[in-house]
Amino acid sequence: MKSSNCQECRDRAAWLDLFTALALAVFKSGLGVLSGSMALQAHSLHSFGDFLTKGINLASVKLSSRPPNASFPYGYGKIQFLSANFIGISLMAGALAMLWYNVSHLGSGHVQVPEVWAVFGALISAGTAELMHRYLRCVGEHTHSPAILAAAADNRGDAYSSMAVLAGIVLSILGWVSADHLAAILVSVLVFRIGAVIAWDSIHGLMDGSVSTRRIEGIRRLLATHHPGVHVLDLRGRRMGETWEVDLKLGISSQVTVDECHALERELESRISREVSHACHLRIRFVPHSGGASGDVALDAAADIDDVADLIEGVSAAHGVSPSAP
């Protein structure tokens, strides 16, 4: 289950990410214009886009905290997948615009060498983005927030692209005049790839994508350790934003009473919720199970079919009808 501390940490991370994006956008925009670096100016446009999308990200994080109601009995968790999808698509659109902008400038020969102090702007941008990536990834992994994890991936992309901007500025100053624009083109490709990954992961969540195999196997081991008499016939899980829905079909002895089933269900819910973080929606079904191998079941079914065939043949013979007759 999610604690209030987790929610506070997540909300704080979203606010910090928002204002950091705005500060970097203003900083790179001003420095890019003053230094004449086209790559830095292009990167600042990307940062302004980040600020807008992260504002939507923050709104989705706050909305997903609303409790379930009659209209949304499973809560609002999936709003974060919508937010992540918007961020991914926005990154891809911004990358394509940045790519077109720099390719057209190279084609027209409109290139210029940036000032030396543009290097410091790229270094500050790269360092800040990498620090934000590590912080947001830590928060996202602990809270299982798709929106925060998407923001972390976005910041890692900003760090990589800032290093590309840095390389372009340095090479341009050293004599390769078009390097600044080529760096901006490389930034566009990197940002587009990150946006595509974010968008695909959000689509996976919106389409009820499965919880990771590692998590599913963890629940299976938990049941085998603490409830060896229960047979797991089916176990699946889907992502509901920051939380999961787990569907269990368990085989138990036919001698177990209804009251015992109910007590076992409550015990399983308590143990799984306590030991498997973010498994908040549990559906448990019990079916009679003898504990035999599936091969024995198949043999029993085959024997039943043979008995039915013998019965039909006997009835047909009594009435003087051939079993193979149409």
Q: Do domains 4-206 and 213-288 have the same CATH topology?
A: no
Q: Which CATH number, 3.30.565.10, 3.40.50.2300, 3.30.70.1350, 3.30.1300.10, labels domain 213-288?
A: 3.30.70.1350
Fold of 4-206: Alpha-lytic protease prodomain-like (1.20.1510)
∠243-287-261 over CA atoms, to 5°?
Answer: 75
CB 39 within 8 A of CB 187: yes
The enclosing H or E element of 284 equals strand 279-288
Please give the order of strands across the beta sheet that includes 243-252: 231-240, 243-252, 279-288
Whole-angstrom distance, CA of residue 65 vs CA of residue 78? 11
| CA separation, residue 66 to residues 35, 76, 77, 79, 192 (Å) | 46, 7, 9, 11, 32
Angle, helices 146-174/118-143, rounded to nearest 10 degrees: 160
| CA separation, residue 80 to residues 56, 71, 160, 188, 191 (Å) | 10, 18, 25, 25, 21
pTM of the model: 0.62
Residue-level pLDDT at 128? 93
* Amino acid (1-letter code) at residue 97: A
Q: How far is CA 304 from the centre of its chain?
A: 48
- Main-chain dihedrals φ then ψ at residue 271, nearest 5 degrees: -70, -45
Tokens standing for residue 96: 């394509």
Residue-level pLDDT at 130? 93
* Amino acid (1-letter code) at residue 136: L
Q: What is the pLDDT along the chain (326 residues), one digit of tens a residue?
A: 445 567 778 888 888 988 998 998 899 888 888 888 877 877 787 787 778 777 876 777 777 778 888 888 777 878 878 888 887 888 888 888 878 877 887 777 766 778 888 888 889 999 999 999 999 999 988 887 877 888 888 888 888 888 888 888 888 888 888 887 787 788 778 778 878 888 888 888 888 777 878 888 888 888 888 888 888 999 888 877 767 788 889 998 888 888 888 888 888 888 888 877 777 778 888 988 765 444 333 334 334 444 444 444 444 444 444 444 44
Where are the domains positioned within the chain?
Answer: 4-206, 213-288
Q: What is the DSSP letter of 210?
A: B
The enclosing H or E element of 208 equals none
Reference 188, options 100, 89, 110, 107; nearest CA is 100
Please compute, for residue 15, the number of CA atoms within 13 A of its CA located in the half-sphere on the CB side. 7
Tokens standing for residue 89: 């698509």
Q: What is the DSSP letter of 283?
A: E
Residue-level pLDDT at 134? 94
Residue-level pLDDT at 291? 56
Please compute, for residue 286, the number of CA atoms within 13 A of its CA located in the half-sphere on the CB side. 20
Tokens standing for residue 277: 């973080």
